[in-house]
Structure 1
Amino acid sequence: MFKTIKSDLPASIVVFFVALPLCLGIALASGAPLFSGLIAGIVGGIVVGALSGSNIGVSGPAAGLAAIVLTAIGSLGGYQNFLVAVVLAGIIQIILGFLKAGIIGYYFPSSVIKGMLTGIGIIIILKQIPHFFGYDAEPEGADSFIEASGENTFSAIFHVADNISLGATLIGILGLLVILFWDNILAKKGKFFKILQGPLVAVVLGIVYFILTQSHESLSIDSSHLVSVPIPDDLNSFLGQFSFPNFSAITNSEVWLVGFTMALVASLETLLCVEATDKLDPDKNVTPTNRELLAQGTGNIISGLIGGLPITQVIVRSSANIQSGGKSKLSAIIHGFLLLISVILIPRLLNKIPLSVLAAILLVVGYKLAKPSLFKKMVKMGWKQYVPFFVTVLGIVFTDLLVGISLGLGVGIIIILIKSYQNSHFLHIEDRSNDRHKIKMTLAEEVTFFNKGAILKELENLPKDTYLELDLINTRYLDQDIIEILEDFLYKAKERRIDIKLVSKRGVVENPESFVEFFKTRPKSSKSLS
C-alpha cells in the first residue's frame, strides 16, 4: 500500500479539501451539530478506509441521508436518541454483509450507473455555481432539487446575479484558472506538478487573498462565504463536541425503524457508489461488496457511538480521489487523518478558505463526471442504452439520487421485458403446399413467464390446417407458465386441424397427447430440457 504514497498523498489532500465543506454542509442540512459531519468524515476516512476492500472509494456523510436525518432528529426527541439509530443501522449493515447482500449492487444496468455518474456530475456543477459567485444560501453538499431554503436548483442559479460577492467571485475565477492551467499544462511538464496538485495551490491562493483583502471594502470576503469549522477554546471544549447515544431510547420502536431505513438507504447508496467507482477506476479493480457492507457497518457503529452522522461511500469524494491519481486505500485513510489533525490544530486557518475556491475544485470534478462526449457515446450505443441513461440523469437532476436511480432502473427493466418479449422465439414459414402452412417455431434458450404474451400471441395467430414444428433442441429452461400455455393450445389445435411435431434432444413426438406429461419426466431439481 505504501508503494503508491507518491500518488496517494497528493490525492488525499485534494479529497480533504473536497470533503471538508461537504462534511460541514451536510451536517448543517441535516440539522445536526457541525462537528458531527467532521466526525463522520474522519471515521469514514480512517476506519472505513482501512477496513474496505476498495482501493479508491472514499466514505463520509452523504447528502442522500440528510432529509432522513433531519426528520429523525426531530421525531426521535433529540440528537442523542438519533445516534442510537445510527449504531443500529451499522449493526444491520454488518448483518447484511454476512448475509451476502452485497450482490444486489451487481444487478444495476451499466447504463443506469453511467447515468448516475453523469447526473451527479451535473448536480455538482449546478449546485456549485451559486457558491462560486458567493451566493451561499444553501449549505454545501445539498443534492436535492428542492432546497431547504425554499428554492430549487435552477431558481438558486437565477438569483445569483442579485447576490454576487465580488471578492468571492474573483478568487473563485482565479482558483478555477489555476486548477485548469495546472491540470492541462503544468502537470505534463514534470513530476513535481503532479505531486503538488492544482487544487492545493488554489486553496493557498484563496487564503492569501482573504488575508490581503480583509480591510478592502469591495474586494473583501465576508465570513459567511468562508469555511466554518467549529473552534474549541481548549481540550475540554474540543472533547465536549462529541455526543454519545442515549441507549435508553432503544426500546422506542421508531428508533429501530429509522435505523433500519438508514441501513437500507446507506447500503444501497454505497453499493451503487462501489459499482460507479469501479467503472471509473483506471486499474479496473473489483471491490468486494460484502466486505464493503461490513466496513460501512463498522464505521456507522463507531460514528454513532461518538456523535457522528451516518456514513456511506460517496461518489463525489471517490471521483475526486480517482481524478487526482489516488491508487490505494491509503489516500482515503490519509484524508481522514488530515481532517482530524486540521480540526484540532488549525481550525482558524481552515476558516480562512473561501467557499468559492472549493466550489471551483468541485466544478472541475463535476465536469469530468459529466463530459459532453459521454452523451454522444451513449446515443451511439442505441436506445436500449441511452433511454435509461437519460431517464436516470434527468431523475437525479430534478429529484434526488435514489429517485433518479429508481426511475432509470424501472425503465431498464421495462426494456428488458420488451426485448424478452421479442426474443422468446423465432418463426420460420418453410413452405405452403396443398393449401397447408408449414411453420417452424424455435424457442429461445431460456423461456420464462416474461415470454408468455409473445408466445401466446403467435399460437393464437396460427391459421387453420397448419403443420407446426416446435423446436426445443436448444431450450435449456422452460417455465411452467409456458408449459401450461402449450397444454391449453393442444385442445385448440385439434379444433383448428393443427398438427404438432415436437422436437427436443429426447427425440421427436408427433401430436403429443400432453405437454405436461411430456415434461413431467424431468428431474424435479432442474428444468433443463437437455
Structure 2
Amino acid sequence: MFKSLKKDLPASIVVFFVALPLCLGIALASGAPLFSGLIAGIVGGIVVGALSGSNIGVSGPAAGLAAIVLIAITSLGYKNFLLAVVIGGVIQLIFGILRLGIIGYFFPSSVIKGMLTGIGIIIILKQIRFFFGMDKTVQGDYEFLNVGWNNLISGLLQDINALISGNISVGATLIGLVAIGILLLWSNVLSKKGKIFQLIQGPLVAVVVGIVYYLSTKGGDFGLNQSQLVSVPVPDSFDSFMGQFSFPNFEVIANTEVWITGFTIALVASLETLLCVEATDKLDPHKNVTPTNRELLAQGTGNIISGLIGGLPITQVIVRSSANIQSGGETKMSAIIHGFFLLISIILIPNLLNQIPLAVLAAVLFIVGFKLAKPSTFKAMFSLGWKQWLPFMATVMPMVITGDLLLGIGLGLAVGIFVILLKNFQNSHFLHKEEGNEGKVKMTLAEEVTFFNKGAILKELDSLPPNSFLELNVTGTRYLDNDIIEILEDFILKAQERNINIKLISQRGTVENPESFIEFFKQKITA
C-alpha cells in the first residue's frame, strides 16, 4: 500500500477538501447533527478504506440515503435511528457472507455511464449559487452538496434569476474564478513541468489562496461573509468535543420500525455501493476489479462502527472516488489518509477550516463534475445507437430533473430491460431465416427459445406462402418454452391445410412425419 505514497498523499489532500463539505452538507440535508457527517467520513476513510478491496474507492456519508435518513430521524428520533444504522450494517455483513455482491454486475454499462454523467451534471448545477456567492442562508450553504433531495431545476431557475438580477457576490465570484484558473493551470500545464507540481496539488493551492484572499479582504468591499465560508463545529474543550458523539438506544431493539429502517438502509446502501464500485472500476485507469462481496463486508463493518458512535450511514461515494482517480490516487492509502486528515482537522484546526471560501470548493467540484459529464460522453453514447442512448438518457434525465439518484438508476434499468425484450421480440438472434429456390425456407432456432420470442416466431411462420417447404433446424436448441411448443403444434396443423411441407432437423436425426413432430417437441420440453 505504501509503494505509491507519493501519488496517494497528494490525492488524499484533494479528496479531503472534496469530502469535508460533502460530510457537512449531507448531514444537514439529512436533519442530523453536522458532526455526524464528519464521523461517517472519518469511519468511511479509515475503517472502510482499510477493509475494502478497492484501490481507489472512497466511502463516506451517503447522499442517496439523505431522504430516507431524514424521514427515519423524524419518525424514530436520532438515537433510535442510530440503532437502525447498526442493524443495517449487520444486514450488510449477512449480504456479503451470502455473496450477494454479484447484483451490481446485472446493471447495463449504459446505466452506469448515465449515473456518472447525471451525478456530474448535478454537481455542476449545485455549485452555481456558491460559486457566485448568491445564497446567504445557513441551510443554503450546504444545500448544493446533497445529491438526492432537492429539485434541481427549481434551484437552477432561481440561480439564473439571481444572475440576471445581479444578485451575486463580487468577492466570491472573483476567488471562484481565480480557483478555476489555478486548477486548470495546474492540471494542464504545471503538472507536466516538474515533480513538485505533482506533489503539491492544484486544489490545495486554490484553498490556500482562498484563505489568504478571505483574510486580506476581510471587512472590505470585496470581502466574504460567514455564510460564504465552510462551517465546521468548533468545540471549546475536550468535554464539548466528546459531547458531540451520540450512542444508539438499544432499548428499542424489538421495535419493528427500527428493523424496517435498518433493512432499508442496508438494501439501498448496498445497491448504491455496488453501482459506485462498478462505476469506479470503469474509471480506474489500471482497470482493477473490486471484490464486491468483500466490499459489502467492509461497508457493513463501517456502518456498524459509524452507528455506534453517532455517525450517518456510509456507502462508497462516486464524487470522492472520481476525485481520487483524477488526482492520481493508486492505492487505498489515499482513502485512509483522507480519513485521518478529517479526524486531525476537526480536532486541531477547525477555525482554519472555517476560513475556506465555499466558492473555492465549488470550483474544485466544477472540475470534478465536468470530468464526469463531458460532452464527449454524450457524443460517444449517441454514436453507439439507440439501444445504448435510450437507457443512458433515461438514467440521466430523471436524476437531473428530480435530483434522485435511485429513481434515475431504476428508470434507466427499466428502459434497458425493455430494449432487451424488444430486440428479442424483433428476432435479432434467436431465429435465422434463409429463403432458397422453389419456395424452400430454412429456419434455425437458437440454444434457448422462450416466450419472449413467440411473437416474432409466430410472425415468421404465418408469413410462409402456401405450397412452400420449411426446413426447421433445432440441432443447437437446448430449451424450448411451452409457449413455443404450442405455436409449433398449431403451425403443424395450419401447414397441412396450406400444403406446407416441413422437415425437422435435430441431433437425433431428421423428422419429416407431421405426427412425429408433436412427440419430438414434447420430449424436448420435458428434457
- Among the aligned pairs, what percent are the same residue? 70
Find the counterpart in structure 2 of residue 118 from structure 1. 117
> 2: distance between equivalents of 1:257 and 1:251?
11
Residue 240 of structure 1 and its aligned partner are, at CA, apart by 0.6
Letter in 1 for 2:442: K
CA distance in 1: counterparts of 2:480 and 2:331, whole angstroms = 46
Matches within 5 A, 1:254-273: 254-273=257-276
Deviation at 1:3, TM superposition (A): 0.3
Mapped to 2, the partners of 1:89 and 1:515 lie a distance apart of 56
TM-score, normalised by the number of residues in structure 2: 0.95
State the shift of 1:296 in Å: 0.6
1:281 and 2:280 aligned: no
Partner of 1:46: 46
Q: CA deviation at 1:496?
A: 2.9
Q: What SS does structure 1 have at the residue aligned with 2:312?
A: coil
CA drift of 1:123 comes to 1.0
Q: Is the 8 A contact 1:145 1:152 kept in 2?
A: no
Which range moves more in the overlay, 263-272 or 393-402? Answer: 393-402
Q: 1: distance between equivalents of 2:363 and 2:517?
A: 68
Q: Distance in 2 between matches of 1:411 and 1:494?
A: 41
Q: 1:344 to 1:157 in 2, by over 3 A?
A: farther
Contact kept? 1:502, 1:512, Cα under 8 Å: no
State the partner residue of 1:184.
Answer: 188
Distance 1:190 1:17 in 2: 23
User: SS at 1:475's partner residue?
Assistant: coil
Summarize the Cα distance change of 1:62–1:160 in structure 2 as closer, same or farther, 3 Å threshold: farther
What is the CA distance between 1:490 and its match in structure 2? 2.5
For residues 92-119 of structure 1, what are the alpha-carbon distances to aligned partners after superposition, in whole Å with 9 as ceiling and x for unaligned?
Answer: 1111111111111111111111111111
Deviation by residue 1:364-408 (Cα, 9 ceiling, x = unmatched): 001111111122222221221122112211121112211111111
Alignment of 1:125-204 (within 5 A): 125-136=124-135, 137=140, 139-144=143-148, 146-147=150-151, 151-161=154-164, 162-204=166-208
One-letter amino acid of the structure 1 residue matched with residue 236 of structure 2: D
DSSP-derived class of the 1:233 partner? coil
TM-superposed deviation, 1:311: 0.5
DSSP 3-state at the match of 2:515: coil
Q: 1:284 to 1:197 in 2, by over 3 A?
A: same
Q: Deviations over 1:261-315 (max 9, x none)?
A: 1111111111110010000000000011111111111111110111000001000
**Mean CA deviation greater in 367-376 or 297-306:** 367-376
The alpha-carbon distance between structure 1 residues 241 and 160, as it changes in their structure 2 partners (threshold 3 A), is: farther
Provide the alpha-carbon RMSD of the alignment: 1.8
1:223-238 to structure 2, matched below 5 A, reads 223-238=226-241
Change (3 A) 1:381 1:523: closer
Match 1:426 to one of 423, 427, 432: 432
Q: CA contact under 8 A between 2:116 and 2:372: conserved in structure 1?
A: yes
| Aligned residue type for 2:448 | E
Matches within 5 A, 1:249-398: 249-398=252-401
Check conservation: 2:118, 2:400, Cα contact below 8 A: yes
After superposition, give the CA deviation of every residue in 1:486-525 in whole Å (9 maximum; x if it has no partner).
Answer: 233323333333322111122111134255532454696x
Deviations 1:438-458 (A, max 9, x none): 221111233222111111222
What CA deviation, in whole Å up to 9, does each residue of 1:191-248 have, x standing for no partner? 11011000000000111111111121x2111111111110111111101100001112
Aligned to 1:70: 70
SS at match of 2:184: helix
- Deviation of 1:473 after TM superposition, in Å, equals 2.2
Give the distance between the partners of 1:34 and 1:146, measured in 2 at CA: 19
Q: 1:489 to 1:514 in 2, by over 3 A?
A: farther
Q: Which amino acid aligns with 2:98?
A: L
Partner amino acid, structure 2, of 1:95: I
1:429-508 paired onto structure 2 within 5 Å:
429-432=435-438, 437-508=439-510
Specify the code of the residue in structure 1 equivalent to 2:227. S
Residue pair 2:247, 2:308 contacting (<8 A) in 1 also: yes
Shift of 1:316: 0.3
Tell me by how many angstroms 1:475 deviates.
2.8
Quick check: 95-104 or 349-358, which moved more?
95-104
Worse-matched range after superposition: 247-256 or 181-190: 247-256
Please tell me whether the aligned partners of residues 226 and 353 of structure 1 are also in contact (alpha carbons under 8 angstroms). Answer: yes
Give distance in 2, aligned partners of 1:272 and 1:128.
Answer: 24
SS at match of 1:469: strand
Unaligned runs of 5+ in 1: none
